[in-house]
Amino acid sequence: MTIALVNRGALAHLAGEYAQAEESYRAALSEDAGNAVAHANLGYLLAIQERHEEAAVCYRDALAIDPGRSLYWANAGVTELWLGRVDSGVDALRRAVRLDPSNAYAWDALGRVDAARGEWGAAADAWASAVDAEPSSEDLIVALAVALAASSRTAQAADVLREARARFPMSVRVAVQLGAVCLVRQDLGSACDALAFAVHAAPDDAAARFHAGLLALCCGAPDDARAHFGFVASLPEGSPHRDEAAALLAAPMEG
């Protein structure tokens, strides 16, 4: 009966019927308080509803029963991060990747923590492990490239992004990131190829237009730079690169 209640809860969860799912999981636990899956599933259900303190209790209960599950440690760690308990969150995430080095979710969370701390080298290492575990994830590849560039490993960042462009040829985000890294490396030809595609594919993309403006400046084309920066500066407040574009527009530009 307990297994049937857990399965019923999982089906209700998938259907978006959260109240019914919670009722089923709690009924399962009233029958068998030692069911780690019911504790963990309930924790996940509560976490996606931003009931993080309750979720943390569920994950602790699940881990007390089954401490060898990497997924439970990863979910517990992310929940601790949501609650602002960074040290305990990182400890749980590290436990998760020790148990299962292919846990991309845990590596990604560790990368985000390192990046937030400004520890870009550690972030790059974490995201490299995440990409090894999930090589088809565009999000993880871009995160890795950003961290590599931020830790002054621009050559590696460019290599990662070139491989990503081959894999995701229609991705504007990958093209913009490659263009930005190539600008830093003063590889203007590669930057031009990547950013020309990005602007053509997404003419309203703030990042594409901003970096195209930087490229135009580097190439001695101030009128083109003004056009790109003017577009970005006209976007609503809070848009990416808006303030930077406005500042560059106000500065002298020479051909």
Q: Distance (Å, rounded) from C-alpha 110 to C-alpha 118?
A: 12
pTM of model > 0.75: yes
Q: pLDDT digits over 160-194, tens only?
A: 999 999 999 999 999 999 999 999 999 999 999 99
Kindly state whether residues 147 and 229 are assigned to the same domain. no
Task: Report how far Cα 20 is from the mean position of its chain's Cα atoms.
Answer: 31
- Domain with 115 in it: 107-169
Q: Distance (Å, rounded) from C-alpha 103 to C-alpha 115?
A: 19
Q: What is the CATH number of the domain that holds 228?
A: 1.25.40
Kindly state whether residues 4 and 78 are assigned to the same domain. yes
Q: Distance (Å, rounded) from C-alpha 186 to C-alpha 231?
A: 24
Q: By CB neighbour count within 10 A (0-12 exposed, 13-18 middle, 19+ buried), where does 65 fall?
A: middle
Kindly state whether residues 112 and 67 are assigned to the same domain. no
Kindly state whether residues 41 and 83 are assigned to the same domain. yes
Q: Final residue of a domain: which of 152, 169, 186?
A: 169
> What's the pLDDT score for residue 25?
86
Residue with tokens 């399962």: 28
Q: pLDDT digits over 119-175, tens only?
A: 999 999 999 999 999 999 999 999 999 999 999 999 999 999 999 999 999 999 999
Instruction: Output the DSSP codes for 171-190.
Output: -HHHHHHHHHHHHHTT-HHH
Residue with tokens 């730079």: 225
Kindly state whether residues 20 and 40 are assigned to the same domain. yes
> What's the pLDDT score for residue 255?
52
Q: Quick one: which of 145, 201, 139, 142 has its CA closest to 170?
A: 201
Are the C-beta atoms of residues 88 and 76 closer than 8 Å to each other?
no
Q: pLDDT digits over 10-42, tens only?
A: 898 999 999 998 898 898 899 999 999 999 999
Kindly state whether residues 162 and 191 are assigned to the same domain. no
Instruction: Output the DSSP codes for 117-155.
Output: TT-HHHHHHHHHHHHHH-TT-HHHHHHHHHHHHHTT-HH
Kindly state whether residues 140 and 188 are assigned to the same domain. no
Tokens of 41: 């599933």
Kindly state whether residues 161 and 183 are assigned to the same domain. no
Total of domains in the chain: 3
Kindly state whether residues 44 and 88 are assigned to the same domain. yes
